[in-house]
């Protein structure tokens, strides 16, 4: 059976989910204060810290070598991104804040990979990688408005500039593995993760709690 039409429809759906999520976060960027941004950088750290290990666990559970190699490639690219966030915090002059319940819950969802969840994870990677890349313009506007120096926003700039390539690699993998069951799982994974990801980021961007200086 020719699944090319289903593949294109699935990719378009995942892309629409990514665009919806980007619009929600962009609105929060427009209202963010410097304090909000600093809380977000702590979230960057807690979001990134388990990323490499999580991707490698997904690679172990992947049903094909092509999917396994995608997850390994992404894991290599994500390595040490938590350190970037720590460097941003140091440049900003503040200590790392505790992990939020939303971030802990985000990672808890991906703490194990069943046969179905590893396919959901592929859809998630398309959505989140594209979502962050779509934030490039509004992130730049926020950086300029808050007068952030380059060394204070390395994590955000790197991801906005490079995540589109990761999304394209994930899309290629989607097309290689498409069938009706996998398409449903990919969309489920992308939609669910968009909700969790957006909630996590907006929660940080609306956090006005006092910060802890170095």
* Yes or no: domain 11-204 corresponds to CATH 3.40.50.2020: no
CA–CA separation, 54 and 205 (whole Å):
25
pLDDT tens per residue, range 149-193? 999 999 999 999 989 999 999 999 999 999 999 999 999 999 999
Whole-model pTM: value is: 0.96
DSSP state of 50: T
The CA dihedral of 48, 73, 172, 201, to the nearest 10 degrees, is 0
Model confidence over 14-42: pLDDT tens digits?
Answer: 999 999 999 999 999 999 999 999 999 99
């Amino acid at each position: 059976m020719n699944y090319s039409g289903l593949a294109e429809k699935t990719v378009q759906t995942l892309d629409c989910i990514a665009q919806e999520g980007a619009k929600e976060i962009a609105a929060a960027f427009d209202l963010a204060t410097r304090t909000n941004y600093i809380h977000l950088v702590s979230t960057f750290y807690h979001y990134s810290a388990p990323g490499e290990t999580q991707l490698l666990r997904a690679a172990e559970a992947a049903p094909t070598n092509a999917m396994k190699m995608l997850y390994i490639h992404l894991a290599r690219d994500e390595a040490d991104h938590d350190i970037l966030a720590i460097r941003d915090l140091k440049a900003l002059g503040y200590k790392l804040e505790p992990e939020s319940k939303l971030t802990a819950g985000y990672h808890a969802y991906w703490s194990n990979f069943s046969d179905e969840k590893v396919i959901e994870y592929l859809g998630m990677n398309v959505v989140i990688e594209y979502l962050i890349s779509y934030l490039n313009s509004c992130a730049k506007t926020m950086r300029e408005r808050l007068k952030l120096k380059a060394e204070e926003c390395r994590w955000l700039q790197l991801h906005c500039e490079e995540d589109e390539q990761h999304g394209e690699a994930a899309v290629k993998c989607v097309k290689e593995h498409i069938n009706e069951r996998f398409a449903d799982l990919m969309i489920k994974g992308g939609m669910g993760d968009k909700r969790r990801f957006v909630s996590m980021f907006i929660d940080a961007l609306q956090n006005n709690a006092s910060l802890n200086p170095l």
